[in-house]
Structure 1
């Protein structure tokens, strides 16, 4: 057990970095080390990418990670907005958001992992003022195909950081096929006690920065072949880091959520888990709309529709008269500015209100259909298919209405 007695990160006496200060310091730090800033893309991935939304900064860079020369060179840095539907069920806890900004750096066949980790350690400790005693690293321990990542292990040992070796938790891939490789993750202690245990043994260790040694490509048969070049791909969650540096206990405590937590409770009294979900999903929906997506029954539009209807379900649980028309314009303007989106807040509001109206109509129709004698007993798969195909009632909505 680490016996340090200062469990909260600090950026120095009297210093409180804003989210934008953190972005600026991050980008300048790597520009000083030869990286060129590239413009972060929207939430929409490039043509041909199988994912619905950009989930990490590497998506727009895939051709360059696979060997194509990048016009700005071999060292890159950017700030990328991301959306992860895989985390929807986790939203409301202390670390997960649906939409967030990712700080990223890349070496396209230039420097190796130890250099990336050394720079990362320097930025966190000297640049952001984090006590090294609050950090813990994890490293790929090796399996039957790839040996342990001894270079990363030795780097962390030189810095005196505790290290945990894992296998699955420290192997990064972008799906069942494609670029992959071992990674080393940096964790920050967020507990009220001195640091203890390890990242896999205590969830008070929160991952803040992942450094991927992207050296391999996994083929359809599961085999690994070398990539044309050995890359480094790193990602650091901006909101997660900012909330910690600002003394927050959860990712909702940063300055980027301050107006939400100031205005929403007075508008709609909610318990904390419900408040977090409503704020996250509304904020995320605004960003998705700002990138040109509109509600639909399939694809990206369905993800947006699901976000809006999920938050409305929570919002109406205690009071069905609550309406999104009451949402302060300040929250829309704040969100669009934070994510660098050029869209009229009134246009965002119109999309949300239209979807709210459609959902109310669907709920009323659903209640009328489910009141029929045929659907008063247990439902089988044929019933669910009929309700979806004939009346447009998805399974999760049917189950929710049955619980009313």
Structure 2
């Protein structure tokens, strides 16, 4: 099942159950949201999860592009991407968690053809302040799905304060042979769908108070599920990455982890630029700058002549089209080349600074802070220059 069919199957399934499809936003969060980028489908819906009536009703479904830098060092493994798409559903004070889980099970097994024997679930076990999620536990047991109670792994929160509550995660077996063990003991169980029941609000002092409106918020990673349904060993081999897998290896000879990082970071930079963010030294603009510099560090490790200016326009156009962005590919390539030029100047300045006698021995934290604040040299670049 290709990703376009997966998206249509998902949305149509929930539309048949009274959900209205809402248009996903850009990577830029709504005004007042403290995060730099949209990291989940719920960010644009925060006011409605807080109780404001949504104009389309209490049951919603959408596809939302997201960006997470917290997993940046994980990119290159089988499941993590910097920019990805999240399929989401919401109950704004309507149905409860067990109904959401039952629909999720039905979509996976009947709509998408997943073997029920390859599923495993986790639920909240209770922690002394709130009791166990017995309703979700009984739902899974009734469906015959193995279920594992946990504490920390199954309590969801949107930060130190704000809505929170128990969640139930659905895992799909990715290993060879029959499933074994449990999700907390075997990483071949891959999390594909999280169903959160927002039952409480965490206050500044850490205490919990019940929410007047209980919501259900679910998120299913599109690329992760697509790779599993297509029998691929990583998200980088699902059909979304077909053009990248075809063109990038012909351009640069890279090992598999480096190929994944280069494809992910360049694709993510294109999406960020396509949403109107411009590279900068701080804040939101530092993310695309950092991504491009990580790519260049990898590319030039074996060949200093490599550069992002060689990126085929076809890949830029494919990415902009997929994320429904209307920026001309030539403008994106121009900004990438400008970032490459800036990086080249930074490298030259960095080599000169690090050649000074005071930086020849082991560097202290004070040295790293000085090099960053005075000369604009980030820690990872300093480490790379010294190793090179």
Instruction: Give me the TM-score of the superposition, normalised by structure 2.
Output: 0.98
From 286, 291, 306, give the equivalent of 1:307: 291
Shift of 1:304: 1.3
User: Is 1:367 aligned to residue 344 of structure 2?
Assistant: no
Tell me the matched-pair count: 388
Specify the alignment match of 1:82 in structure 2. Answer: 66
List runs of 5+ in structure 2 lacking aligned partners.
none
Shift of 1:386: 2.8
Specify the alignment match of 2:331 in structure 1. Answer: 347
Specify the alignment match of 1:285 in structure 2. Answer: 269
Contact kept? 1:289, 1:348, Cα under 8 Å: yes
Specify the alignment match of 1:338 in structure 2. Answer: 322
Name segments (4+ residues, structure 1) moved above 6 Å. Answer: none
Instruction: Give the Cα separation in 1 of the matches to 2:366 and 2:120.
Output: 51
SS class of match (2:71):
helix
From 6, 29, 33, give the equivalent of 1:45: 29
Shift of 1:34: 0.3
Q: Deviations over 1:240-260 (max 9, x none)?
A: 011111111111110001111
Instruction: Give me the TM-score of the superposition, normalised by structure 1.
Output: 0.95
Q: Deviations over 1:302-322 (max 9, x none)?
A: 111111101110111111100
**Structure showing greater relative contact order (alpha-carbon pairs closer than 8 Å, 6 or more residues apart):** 1
Contact kept? 1:66, 1:228, Cα under 8 Å: no
Instruction: Give the Cα separation in 2 of the matches to 1:389 and 1:84.
Output: 25
Shift of 1:228: 2.0
Instruction: Give the Cα separation in 2 of the matches to 1:280 and 1:273.
Output: 11
Q: Which moved more, 1:374-383 or 1:47-56?
A: 374-383
Instruction: Give the Cα separation in 2 of the matches to 1:386 and 1:121.
Output: 54
Q: Deviations over 1:288-330 (max 9, x none)?
A: 1111111111111111111110111011111110021211111
From 186, 192, 199, give the equivalent of 1:202: 186
Instruction: Give the Cα separation in 2 of the matches to 1:255 and 1:261.
Output: 10
SS class of match (1:294):
coil
Map residues 2-401 of structure 1 onto 2, 5 A cutoff. Answer: 17-401=1-385
Shift of 1:342: 1.6
Instruction: Give the Cα separation in 1 of the matches to 2:362 and 2:129.
Output: 50
Instruction: Give the Cα separation in 2 of the matches to 1:66 and 1:329.
Output: 43
Instruction: Give the Cα separation in 2 of the matches to 1:41 and 1:75.
Output: 18
Instruction: Give the Cα separation in 2 of the matches to 1:137 and 1:379.
Output: 47
List runs of 5+ in structure 1 lacking aligned partners.
1-16
SS class of match (2:362):
coil
